[in-house]
Structure 1
Amino acid sequence: MGLLPIINRWKNLVLAAVGLAFLLSLLVAFLLPNIYQSTAVFYPTNPETTDPDRIVSEGGKLQLGGRAEDLDRVITIGESQPVAELMIKRFDLYKHYNVGSPGDEKAEQDALEAFDKKLNIVHNDRDAIELTVEDNDKVLAARMANTLVQVIDSINQQLTFENRRSIIELYRDRASFLEKEFVQAHDSLLAARRRYGVYGMDRESRYIAKEIIETESALRRAEGEGNSGKAAGLRRALKGLTQADGGNVYNLESYTKGLDLITGLYSRFNDVQTRLQEARGAYETARLTISSRISSIYVVQKAFPATKKAKPVRSLIVISSVLITLVLSIIFITLLELYRGNLGLSSLRRVE
């Protein structure tokens, strides 16, 4: 109440200041361009669950992200400088923001700062990501928001894509190595079969055993009959059937030795063959999956052109300007009155 007399004395100045503030703020408010906001909402996913290798081989399922590391990773990608530079070049924001030409350091820095001010990426209370782009062109704002979501998705996929490229090289090298091992094992097995005459036929062992038994029986009969000539021939035949130096291709000694060797070689051959088939299957699967792209985010809401402006709130600008001017005017005239009062009091004391 003590200020009312002061305000009354200076009412013309106060009213002039308030009126001028009203007119200027009204002019500025209507000169400011309309700013529109477009928002896209999406959930990030765990990169491991979107890896095609895991989905194909392990039957994995897509899992929506709610983990702190997934949310932080997506926000970090969206706010990174490479993403901002890509968006600036794709939409020619140098011209749109009127900051200069590409290649100029100041123009590039101004464009980055302008884009950063118009971008907002936050983690909401429902574990989703809200990506908002502001611009005076509502259609451009929506396009930029949707494109930025795609860019984030693409970069997020690269986290597994680069690893898969390295893995497919390992699969190919492993398959090539096993192919050489397979050929070597096959050649060793074939050479052993040729050397020892063991081809794995059912009647090989039965034939040798039958011939040995029959020859030995005939030898015993010849010895019993006293037929030395026949017995000598049967002894040579028996030696050929039982000893490697007897001259027979099929003999018990070579067959047994070859059978033991071929059993080991066949086991090795079978193992390499199984591993080679698995390696070829893994390589073919890797080649198939590396060309497949599974989205690393789940878009809940795409960005659409805004139906109304987000700012400026012109009435708020005018009202706040008038109120601030009124308060500053009152402070100014109050200080002026106090100064005059102190000055008059000092003059009176000097007169006394």
Structure 2
Amino acid sequence: MNQNESLLDIFVLLYKKRRRILIASFLVAFITAAVSLLLPNYYEASTLFYAASPDLAQPVSIDDRKIYGSDSDLDRLFSIAQSNELKSYLISEFDLYDHYEIDSTSKKGKEKLLLKLGKLYNTKKTRYDAIDLAVEDTDPAFAADMANQARARVNDLAMKLIRNSQKAVIAGLKKSVADKTTYLKFLNDSLYNLRKRHNIFNTASQGEAYGTSIVSLEGKVQNLSSQVSLLKKLDGPVDSINVLAAKLAGTRNQLKTLKQNIKDYNEGYPSIISIEQERKEFNNQLLYDKERLSKLESAYSSDIEAVHVIQQAEVPVIKSRPKRSFLVIGAAF
């Protein structure tokens, strides 16, 4: 009962003061409207873009190449868009101290400028995994230009990271190619010296030729030796015996030389085969590295972007704030 009486007393009091309340409400609404008219109009320009895949900067086949980046690529762009390096660029490029009328020589000038920029410059991820970069300003054309320049700078900084990574890989490959080239020359020199020392010029055909030659020469030696022995037993012509004996001696010398060559061949063969195999493997690695280096250098010099622009920032025609009607209605009630 007491509670109902208290509420009734409040309503009665409000009814008695209704004129004053209405006058006060209208007065506040009028003042708010007047003040809101003095507030500057702000216009928001926004640009929308996706992260491009780093595959575009790599020497991969078109079939294996992705166009759009992953979540980590998007996070990298988002971090760049919010970085102090980007903000410093905008401050310098658009002379924001002068534009926002902040004293650059004051002790807290930079802090004030960053707070001001933080309110007018905004980046966010959309539900579709894109980045929405927005700039507010009293000058709609300035807002659009700054938003587009900020996005372009995000792309430049992202590409700088990619290029630096490419340069490091290219430098490593160049060193690898140089080292392999030097070692391959060492292998070639070693192989040349071994071939010369052991008189081996072709491991495959030369071994086969030696095998055929030694069988042939040993057969000749046996044949000539038999002929000489037979003629001596038969007291054959001395001239014929001397001719056959000379041929036998020459053939034996050839056989002796051949056996020495075969000995040298057998001594050098394992080392030469080993170096030839190592040289082949190194040469294949070198060719692979050179091909990869060529592709990387081609990718490094190619004109690619780190972002896919979906929407350029256009000059806005409708202000984003203040919402004067909301201010007046909110103040009145």
Q: TM-score with structure 1 length normalisation? A: 0.77
Alignment match of 2:176 (pick from 174, 177, 188): 174
2:51 alignment counterpart:
44
The answer as to whether partners of 1:54 and 1:60 remain within 8 angstroms in 2 is no
Partner of 2:185 in structure 1?
A: 183
Q: Which residue in 2 is equivalent to 1:62?
A: 67
2:58 is aligned, of 50, 53, 56, to: 53
2:255 pairs, out of 216, 226, 238, with 238
The amino acid across from 1:237 in the alignment is Q
Displacement, 1:7? Answer: 1.3
**Residue among 68, 80, 89 paired with 1:77:** 80
Instruction: Note if contact 1:37-1:133 (Cα within 8 Å) is conserved in structure 2.
Output: yes
> What is the alpha-carbon distance in structure 1 between the residues aligned to residue 155 and residue 81 of structure 2?
10
User: 1:318 is matched with which residue?
Assistant: 328
Aligned equivalent of 2:233: none
Is the Cα contact below 8 Å between 1:64 and 1:298 reproduced in 2?
no
Q: Give distance in 2, aligned partners of 1:116 and 1:270.
A: 62
Distance 2:128 2:147 in 1: 20
Partner of 2:17, secondary structure, is helix
Q: Distance in 2 between matches of 1:93 and 1:185?
A: 64
Q: Counterpart of 2:94?
A: 91
Using the TM superposition, give the Cα deviation of residue 152 of structure 1 relative to its aligned residue in structure 2, in angstroms. 1.9
In 2, Cα distance between equivalents of 1:76 and 1:204: 68
Q: How far apart, in 1, do the equivalents of 2:48 and 2:270 lie?
A: 69
- Cα distance change, pair 6–285 in 1 and its aligned pair in 2 (3 A): same
Query: Whole-Å Cα distance in 2 between the matches of residues 217 and 45 of structure 1?
Result: 78
Partner of 1:278: 288
Cα gap change, 1:127/1:3 in structure 2, threshold over 3 Å: closer, same or farther?
A: farther
Q: Kindly, what percent of the aligned residue pairs are identical?
A: 26
Change (3 A) 1:310 1:192: same
In structure 1, give the amino acid aligned to 2:46.
T
| 1:232-251 Cα distance to aligned partner (Å, 9 max, x none) | 554333212112xxxxxxx2
Once the two structures are TM-superposed, the CA of residue 181 in structure 1 deviates from its matched residue by 0.8
Change (3 A) 1:111 1:55: farther
CA deviations 1:46-97 (Å, max 9, x no partner) are 54x34x22535984221354x3x44443333222222212111111111000
State the one-letter code of the partner of 1:275. Answer: Q
Looking at structure 1, the residues matched to 208 and 60 of structure 2 have their Cα atoms a distance apart, in angstroms, of 52
Secondary structure of the 2:186 match is helix
Report if aligned partners of 2:43, 2:320 keep a CA contact under 8 Å in 1.
yes
Question: Between Structure 1 and Structure 2, how many residues are aligned?
Answer: 308
State the Cα deviation string for residues 293-345 of structure 1 (Å, max 9, x = none). Answer: 5322222111101111111122333333333xxxxxxxxxxxxxxxxxxxxxx
State how 1:1-352 maps to structure 2 within 5 Å.
Answer: 1-7=11-17, 11=19, 17-18=24-25, 20-47=27-54, 49-50=55-56, 52-55=57-60, 59-65=64-70, 67=71, 69-101=72-104, 104-200=106-202, 204-205=206-207, 207-224=209-226, 225-226=228-229, 229-230=245-246, 231-243=248-260, 251-323=261-333
The residue type paired with residue 21 of structure 1 is V
Q: Is the 8 A contact 1:44 1:296 kept in 2?
A: yes
| C-alpha contact (below 8 Å) 1:18/1:322 kept by paired residues | yes
Task: Provide structure 1 residue ranges, at least 5 long, that are not aligned to the other structure.
Answer: 244-250, 324-352
Distance 1:54 1:203 in 2: 42
* Deviation of the 1:164 alpha carbon: 1.8
8 A Cα contact 1:85 1:112, kept in partner: no
Q: 1:31 & 1:258 partners in 2: Cα distance?
A: 99
Q: What is the alpha-carbon distance in structure 2 between the residues aligned to residue 6 and residue 154 of structure 1?
A: 68
Unmatched runs of 5 consecutive residues or more in structure 2: 1-10, 230-240
> What is the one-letter code of the residue matched to 1:37?
E
TM-score (norm 2): 0.81
Deviations 1:12-46 (A, max 9, x none): x5566445434432332221111001111222245
Moved more, 88-97 or 52-61: 52-61
